[in-house]
Structure 1
Amino acid sequence: MNPNLADKAQPFTQLPLKPELLTNLVTMGFKQMTPIQAQSLPTILQSKDVIGQGKTGSGKTAAFGLGILNKLNVKRFRIQSLVLCPTRELADQVAKEIRTLARGIHNIKVLTLCGGVPMGPQIGSLEHGAHIIVGTPGRIMDHLDRGRLDLSEVDTFVLDEADRMLEMGFQDALDAVIEHVPSLRQTLLFSATYPKQIEAIANRIMVKPKMVKVESTHDSSSIVQHFYHTNNNNDRLSALRLLLLQGKPESSVVFCNTKRETKDVAAKLANEGFSVIALHGDLEQRDRDQALLQFANKSVSVMVATDVAARGLDIEAIDAVFNYHVAYDSEVHIHRIGRTGRAGSQGVAHTFFNEQDTPKMILLEDELGYEITATGLPSDGLLEQRPLEPKMMTIQIDAGKKQKIRPGDIVGALTGERGIDGNQIGKIKVTDFRSYVAVERHVARKALNKIVKGKLKGRSYRAWEMQ
C-alpha cells in the first residue's frame, strides 16, 4: 500500500463491508478511516494476518472489530472470534465498541470473560453460547481448564495491547490459550510498541503478516512539551508541586517507572494537600475501579501511575502529563504524552531529567526531531499556595441495576423539590449493586441529603461521599 495513504482521508464506503455495517458506520458519524484503519482494513478483510502498531485512540479497535463482524456467520451460534486484552477495563471497552459496531446486525452475542469479577455469571452466560469472546488471558485459561470454553471453531484471533500483556506476565497464559485455538485461523496483533518479545510471538503464531505502523508523533499545536533539569527526587517532587500549583490542571497524570515510586509520589502529594490517587499493579480490582471512576469524573485531580497500569485506559480531557522520570524508551514517552492534547484540545507535557538520563534524552531528541533545552521552573513562592480542590465530588449509592436503578432515577432524585440543578450533576455510573454520581463539590452535602433523606425509586438507600 502507498506509504502516503495514512495522510489521505479515505471513506469506509470503498471497503467491501456488509451493507448493514456501512449503514451503521454512517449513523455513528464514522465517514473517514483513521490512518491505522486505512492501512490495515483492506488486508484484514482478506482474512490475512496483520500486525498493527499504534497508540491508544488510533482506531485499532474498530479496525479489528469490523474485520471480525464482516465475516461472522450469525446463524452459526459458535465462538468464532477471540479477542485477548491485558485488563478488564480494556476488555470492557473493546466489547462495548464491538457491540456498537454490530448494531445493524441482529442477534450477535459478545461475551466478556475477565478476572476481578465473580465466575458464576460468566459460567451461566457461557452455557447460553456466544459468537465473540473478549477477555483477559488468565480468566480465559480458567474457563478452558474447566472445560467450559470451546474455541475449536475460532477463525479470528486478536491480541490487543500485546506488549502490555507480556509486561504483566501473561506469556504462559497466552501460550496456553493459543494451544486451544485452531492453527488455521486469521491472527491480528495490535501493540503500542514492538519489542523483540512481540516480534518473537508474531514469528511463531502468524503467517506472513502485513506490518502496519502509524507514527505517534505530536506537533506543537496539540501538545506543548517542557523539560526540566532536576538533580534528585526531592527536586522532582518540588518541581511537580510547583507546576501543579502554577497550571492548576483539573486532570493530570504523573508517570513513574516503578510501583514503589508511584506509591511514594502519590503519598507525598497527598501529604501536601493534593487530591491524588495511585494506580499500580498491587491494587485490588474494586479499588482500581473506584479510583479510575473518581479520576474520570473529576472528583480527583491527579493520577500517579506506572505505564503498565495506565495502558489501555480511555480517559478523556487530561490537561497535563508529567514524566516524573524519563521513560525507558522514546516510544513509551510518545505514548505517555499522547494522553493529553486529544480531540482537538491543546495539552501540555512536563518531563523531569538529570545527567543520568543523557542517553535516553539523545534518543528522544532523535524521535522528536529537535534539540531539547531545559525550561526554568516557577518561583518557590508558589509552594505556599493551597492545591486546587477538584470541581466534583462522587456520591456512592448502595443500589444499582439489580434494584432497577437507572441514571434518570438518580437525576430525578437529585433535582426534585428543593434539589440541585441538573447542570450541577456530572457523570453517573450504575453497576449491578452500586451507583456513583458526580456532583459539583459545593452542592455535595445538599445532594447527599436528597439521596439519604429522600426516595430513590420509592425506597430509601444508604449513600456517602467517596474520599
Structure 2
Amino acid sequence: MKTFEELGLEHSIVTAIKELGFENPMTVQEKVIPVLLEDKENDVIALAQTGTGKTAAYGLPIIQKVNTKKSYTQYLILSPTRELCLQIADDLSDFAKYKSDVKIAAVFGGSSIERQIQLVRSGAHIISATPGRLIDLLKRKVVDLSKVNTIILDEADEMLNMGFRDDLEEILKSTTDNKNTLLFSATMSSEIRSIANKFMFEPVEITIGKKNVGAENIKHICYTVNAKDRYLTLKRIVDYYPEIYGIIFCRTKRETQDVADLLLKDGYNAEALHGDLSQAQRETVMNKFRQRNIQLLIATDVAARGLDVDGLTHVINYNLPDELEIYTHRSGRTGRAGKTGTSIVITNLKEKSKLRTIENQTNKKFEHHKVPSGNEICARQLFHLVDRVEKVEVDDSKIQSFLPEIMKKLDWCDREELIKKFVSVEFNRFLSYYSNLRDIETPIESIKYKSGNSSNFNFKRFFINLGQLDELKPKTLIDMINDFTGINNIEIGEIEILKTFSFFEVDSEYADKILFAFKDKYSGKRKISVEVSEGRTKNRSKKFFRAKGGNSRKDYRRKSFQKSYSK
C-alpha cells in the first residue's frame, strides 16, 4: 500500500489529512489521485461505492492544482443535495487547512443567495454546488464558468435519479470544450453512459470492485414474513441487535412517519426524515442522527440523499425499492471506510423475483433468516447487558463518596441476589414483552391447484364490503386472505366481484379464522367488513373466479336465490 506522499501530494496537504486521522490512502484514492496529478489532464470515470473516499480522491488533487494567483473559478463540483454539497465544501476546507489562500464556496438552495453571491464574487477558486442553485446564479450572471478547467460530477447516478439531467446538460454546455470532466458514481447506468459519451473525451475508467455491485464487506440478510407482521418483525430485528445504529428505509412519506411514530410510542430512540419536514426540521434531525442522539432514522430515499454518516451498523429495507440502483445505494451506506455492515430486507413471498434480480445483478446472495424468537432476543439483550457491565470503566474518585451508603443499602443481598436484581433492572421489560408473544413464522409458499385436480371441499360463503369501485381483484382478495390469516394453503372457491361489494368462498374449516383475521382491518382508510353470506354454497372440485356488475347488496341477494352460480 502506498503512502499519500508517494501519490505525489504536497507536504502541506499530507499534514492536513494526517491531522484528520488518515494515515494511508483508500483504494479509490490510490488509483485516482495519481491520474489527476499527471501533467496530461484526462477525463475520468470513477465507479466506487458510497463511503469509499471519493471526495478526497478528487478533492486533494484539485486543492494542490489550484492557481491561487488567479481570482476566478477553476474547479466546479456538482452534487445532488445541499447536505452533500456542504459536506464536500467542509471536507475540502479541512484538506486545505495549510493552504489558506485557496477559496472555496458552497452554492445550494434553501439558504441565503446573497451570502453565496458574495462568496463567489470574492474570487472562489472552487465551487461546490447543487444544479438548481447554480443555474439560478448563472442566469443572474453571478457565476462565470468560461474559465473552469475541471468540472466534477459527484454522485452522478443520484443526480440523474433525482431528475437533474436537463440541468446537468445546461451547465455542461455553458463550460468550455477544453475543460476536463470527472464523473464519480456508485453505479453505471445507461443514462450515465449517455452523459459520458456526450460530454467526455476518451475518459480513463477506474472501477473499484465490480460495476453495479454492493461492497464486499456488507452482509445481506432477508426476513420473509406476512405483510401483517412487517412492523412486529422490524421491532424484533432492532431488539436482536442492541447496538444498532442505522437507517430504516420506507417507500412513502406517510409510511415513514407512521413507522417512526410507532417506534417512538414503543420506546425506541427514533425519528423520521422525509419531504414534508421543513429544511430546518430536516437539518435538526440529521444533526441529531450524526451525533448519535438518534439511534434509528426512518427515511425515504429522497430525504436521505446526501446524508453522509460514518459508522452505520445496519440499513433496514422496510420495503424493497423498485430499482436495483436504489438498493445498492441504500446498502452502501453501511460497511464504509473498511468497516463491516449489514443490509436487512423485510419482504414477502410476492417479492421473490425482485430478490433474485438483486442477487443476480449485484452478485450477492441474501442469507434467509427466521425472525428471532422472544427467547433469542432476551438472551441477546441479557448478554449484551452483561458485556457492558464487564467492560465499563470505573472511576473510583467520582463514586467513592457514594459507596458507603450504597453498601449499607444493599448489605442484605448476597452476591447472587445482587446480580439477579441488577440484571433485572434493565432486562425485565424484554422478559415481560416477549413472555407470551407468538413467534413470527416464515410463510409457506401457496400451493397451486390445477383446475379440476383438487379434492372436494365444503365451502363457506362470505360477504366483503369491497368491490370494483375499490379496485378489488381476485388476486388482491386472495393476498388479503393469505396475509391476514397467515395461512397460505386455504382452498378458495368462487369469487364474485360486484360494484360496491363482493362474495368469496373458502374451505368452511377456516370460517372462524377468516372472520377473526379480517376483524379491525383496513383497505386504505376504509374499514373492512366481512360476514358469513346468507346464500348457500355447493361443494366444488376446483377453484374459479368470476367478476360481474351489480348495484346493491339487496338486489344481489334476491337474484342469488333465483339462479345457480355453478359452472
Match of 1:68 among 62, 66, 73: 62
Amino acid at match of 1:40: V
Please tell me whether residue 360 in structure 1 is matched to residue 323 in structure 2: no
Q: The residue matched to 1:14 in structure 2 has which SS?
A: coil
Kept after mapping to 2: 8 A contact 1:227/1:375: yes
User: Matches of 1:124 and 1:48 in 2, distance apart?
Assistant: 32
Kept after mapping to 2: 8 A contact 1:279/1:306: yes
**Structure 1 unpaired stretches of 5+:** 1-8, 388-467
Tell me the residue number matched to 1:89: 83
Amino acid at match of 1:44: L
Cα drift, residue 84 of structure 1: 0.8
Q: The residue matched to 1:13 in structure 2 has which SS?
A: coil
User: Matches of 1:14 and 1:236 in 2, distance apart?
Assistant: 52
Superposition map of 1:279-428 within 5 A: 279-330=273-324, 332-342=326-336, 346-366=340-360, 372-379=366-373
Amino acid at match of 1:32: N
User: Matches of 1:300 and 1:306 in 2, distance apart?
Assistant: 17
User: Matches of 1:227 and 1:257 in 2, distance apart?
Assistant: 18
Q: The residue matched to 2:368 in structure 1 has which SS?
A: coil
Q: CA RMSD in A?
A: 2.7
Q: TM-score by structure 2 length?
A: 0.61
Comparing 268-277 with 62-71, greater Cα deviation is found at 268-277
Tell me the residue number matched to 1:229: 224
Tell me the residue number matched to 1:180: 174
Cα drift, residue 250 of structure 1: 5.0
Q: TM-score by structure 1 length?
A: 0.73
Kept after mapping to 2: 8 A contact 1:242/1:382: no
User: Matches of 2:171 and 2:251 in 1, distance apart?
Assistant: 30
User: Matches of 2:134 and 2:222 in 1, distance apart?
Assistant: 43
Q: CA, structure 1 residues 82+210, in 2 after alignment: closer, same or farther (shift >3 Å)? A: same
Cα drift, residue 237 of structure 1: 1.2
Q: The residue matched to 1:248 in structure 2 has which SS?
A: coil
Q: The residue matched to 1:12 in structure 2 has which SS?
A: coil
Alpha-carbon deviations, 1:33-90, whole Å to 9, x = none? 2111222223222321111111222111111112312321110111111111111111
Kept after mapping to 2: 8 A contact 1:53/1:193: yes
Alpha-carbon deviations, 1:105-150, whole Å to 9, x = none? 2411101111111122122223322111111111111111111111
Q: CA, structure 1 residues 370+92, in 2 after alignment: closer, same or farther (shift >3 Å)? A: closer
Kept after mapping to 1: 8 A contact 2:236/2:371: yes
Cα drift, residue 375 of structure 1: 1.2
Match of 1:36 among 6, 28, 38: 28
Tell me the residue number matched to 1:115: 109
Q: CA, structure 1 residues 250+363, in 2 after alignment: closer, same or farther (shift >3 Å)? A: closer
Say which one has the larger Rg: 2
User: Matches of 1:211 and 1:195 in 2, distance apart?
Assistant: 14
Alpha-carbon deviations, 1:371-411, whole Å to 9, x = none? 54531113369999xx9xxxxxxxxxxxxxxxxxxxxxxxx
User: Matches of 1:319 and 1:95 in 2, distance apart?
Assistant: 26
User: Matches of 1:208 and 1:24 in 2, distance apart?
Assistant: 33
Q: CA, structure 1 residues 342+146, in 2 after alignment: closer, same or farther (shift >3 Å)? A: closer
Count of matched residue pairs: 374
Q: The residue matched to 1:348 in structure 2 has which SS?
A: strand
**Structure 2 unpaired stretches of 5+:** 382-567
Please tell me whether residue 189 in structure 1 is matched to residue 183 in structure 2: yes
Kept after mapping to 2: 8 A contact 1:49/1:208: yes
Amino acid at match of 2:221: H
User: Matches of 2:367 and 2:12 in 1, distance apart?
Assistant: 53
Q: CA, structure 1 residues 218+50, in 2 after alignment: closer, same or farther (shift >3 Å)? A: closer
User: Matches of 2:376 and 2:111 in 1, distance apart?
Assistant: 45
Tell me the residue number matched to 1:100: 94
Q: CA, structure 1 residues 53+306, in 2 after alignment: closer, same or farther (shift >3 Å)? A: farther
User: Matches of 1:370 and 1:63 in 2, distance apart?
Assistant: 27
Please tell me whether residue 274 in structure 1 is matched to residue 271 in structure 2: no
Report the identity percentage.
37
Amino acid at match of 1:53: L
